[in-house]
Homo-oligomer: A and B are copies of this chain.
Amino acid sequence: MDGFSQKEEQRLLKTLQQESDNLGLVERRKFLKNAMVMVGAGAVVAQTGSVIASSNLPPAVPSWSRKLGDGVLTNPYGLPSDYEKDTIRRTVGWLTPDRISSISMTPLHKLKGIITPNGLAFERYHGGLPDINPDEHRLIIHGLVERPLIFTMDELKRFPSVSEIKFLECPANGGMEWKAPQMEGLQFTHGMLSCCEWTGVRLSTLLDAVGVKPEGKWILAEGADGSGMTRSIPMEKALDDAIIVYAQNGEALRKEQGYPIRLMNPGWEGNTCIKWLRRLEIGDKPWYQREETSKYTDLMPDGRARKFSFVQECNSVITSPSPEVPLKVKGWYEIEGIAWSGKGKIKGVDISLDGGVSWRPAPLKGMIISKCLTRFSYMYNWQGEPLLLQSRAWDETGYVQPTFKQLRAERGGNSIYHRNAIHTWKVHSNGSVQNAQLS
């Protein structure tokens, strides 16, 4: 297993894929995980690690081993190591006229697994970040209901709760790339994306409580922020999987995410997941508010607009290598990435090394959860050749992530939203990685 050719490696992976197809889901995952490790172990060791010699030994006793450190509780609420100070959310100065109606992005290139830590989850405000006292906050549900009700936070928390790991994405994610590739970095091409464990009450539970009248078909969700952000939500979604969320990755919802409560519509545009939620009004038709007419609609080539394009369709991107994670030396690498779909589970991912001329399967790894980030992985022995790296995901509905050409042909060039096209990283022979777009 001390290294093998690209052809051998392809054959091996194909065999593994075939063998895995004969197993059940859980077994298959376990098998593929083990198989990848097996392939990887032999592969990477040929180039990784050094035989121990006096020249590469660290000090016998490093400075930090020679003294006692700080005791517990210097940080009752802990923070990352100072050595990780570059792992932060970032914004783009020119993107919006002001930072109170702007966005900051998740450093996807620094993240592993599927959970986004709360301190790094992307933020988007329409009128700045309100600082809400939870004791004074109320949720009102009214309109076409039998019993209009008003809830304190304590009351909401007495309902049975659910906890689910779901991705959250702004429909403008990748929006700066509709004309030409201009953002140099994964954090800026795909960073309006995070994935957390959300806990709260099913919206359907609260709707049971108020008793929706038969003519109630839409819900206006309103935020308590300075912009009074509103969206119209169809009753079907509310009764399906929407959650009134008060916790994120175990702890209270972060301010940036809508403290003390937000609406969570799994798999749907982030802006529909109204933050700082204060009011739900049941009506018989949508309201056509500002943020669902002038914004968050997609102007099509014929001048008409796609409205209520709620679903974040299947998408994927390679996180390593990427502009922020270049290839430093020749040898074996785990080409890794994330895939997600607002319609359900990721079913598979292919990757291409030649800009989409040929494709090979990239096994999924770890948990595969509906409307959640899913990791894919492909072991590759890079010997300095230039690459046009792409990933193409599809979901359990059969929807396949489109090429940019296909997407552009259908949607034209007016919209900034829902750009879920296959993404290209150009790997140069020096290992640097550049954002590219194939016509």
A interface residues, Cβ below 8 angstroms from B = 1, 33, 36-37, 39-42, 44-45, 47-52, 56-58, 62, 64-84, 87-91, 98-100, 102-104, 110-121, 123-125, 127-134, 136-138, 140, 142, 147-151, 154-156, 158-165, 196-199, 202, 204-205, 208-210, 224-228, 246-247, 249-252, 254-256, 259-260, 276, 278, 328, 331-334, 336, 365-367, 375, 377, 379
- Across the two chains, which residue of chain B brings its CB closest to A108? B250
**A66–B228 alpha-carbon span in the complex (Å):** 9
B250 and A115: CB pair below 8 A?
Answer: yes
CB distance from A139 to the nearest CB of B (A): 9
B78 and A256: CB pair below 8 A?
Answer: yes
B66 and A102: CB pair below 8 A?
Answer: no
Contacts of A76 in B (CB 8 A): 88-90, 104
A66, A114, A159, most chain B CB atoms within 10 A: A159
Contacts of A276 in B (CB 8 A): 64
**A149–B104 alpha-carbon span in the complex (Å):** 41
B65 and A224: CB pair below 8 A?
Answer: yes
A114's contact among B57, B117, B197, B259, by CB below 8 Å, is which?
B197
Contacts of A159 in B (CB 8 A): 40-41, 44, 48, 334
A44 and B249: CB pair below 8 A?
Answer: no
B202 and A37: CB pair below 8 A?
Answer: yes
Contacts of A51 in B (CB 8 A): 147-150
**A102–B205 alpha-carbon span in the complex (Å):** 44
CB distance from A262 to the nearest CB of B (A): 13
B125 and A251: CB pair below 8 A?
Answer: no
B225 and A52: CB pair below 8 A?
Answer: no
A64's contact among B62, B121, B130, B331, by CB below 8 Å, is which?
B130
B100 and A151: CB pair below 8 A?
Answer: no
CB distance from A82 to the nearest CB of B (A): 8
A52 and B130: CB pair below 8 A?
Answer: no
**A132–B259 alpha-carbon span in the complex (Å):** 35
CB distance from A171 to the nearest CB of B (A): 17
A80 and B251: CB pair below 8 A?
Answer: yes
B112 and A89: CB pair below 8 A?
Answer: no
A209 and B69: CB pair below 8 A?
Answer: no
A150's contact among B57, B149, B254, by CB below 8 Å, is which?
B57
- Across the two chains, which residue of chain B brings its CB closest to A205? B41
**A375–B199 alpha-carbon span in the complex (Å):** 12
Contacts of A115 in B (CB 8 A): 115, 196-197, 249-250
A160 and B379: CB pair below 8 A?
Answer: yes
A103, A246, A250, most chain B CB atoms within 10 A: A250
6 additional A-B pairs beyond A57-B150, A115-B196, beta carbons within 8 Å, are: A41-B160, A44-B158, A50-B149, A62-B137, A75-B119, A83-B133
CB distance from A39 to the nearest CB of B (A): 8
B77 and A130: CB pair below 8 A?
Answer: no
Contacts of A163 in B (CB 8 A): 112-114, 365-366, 375
Contacts of A154 in B (CB 8 A): 328
A131 and B336: CB pair below 8 A?
Answer: no
CB distance from A201 to the nearest CB of B (A): 8
Contacts of A64 in B (CB 8 A): 130-132, 224-226, 276
A69's contact among B37, B72, B125, by CB below 8 Å, is which?
B125
**Given that A76-B104, A79-B77, A366-B164 are contacting pairs, would A129 and B69 also be in contact in the complex, using a CB cutoff of 8 Å?**
yes
- Across the two chains, which residue of chain B brings its CB closest to A334? B160
A113 and B68: CB pair below 8 A?
Answer: no
**Given that A37-B162, A112-B161 are contacting pairs, would A78 and B118 also be in contact in the complex, using a CB cutoff of 8 Å?**
yes
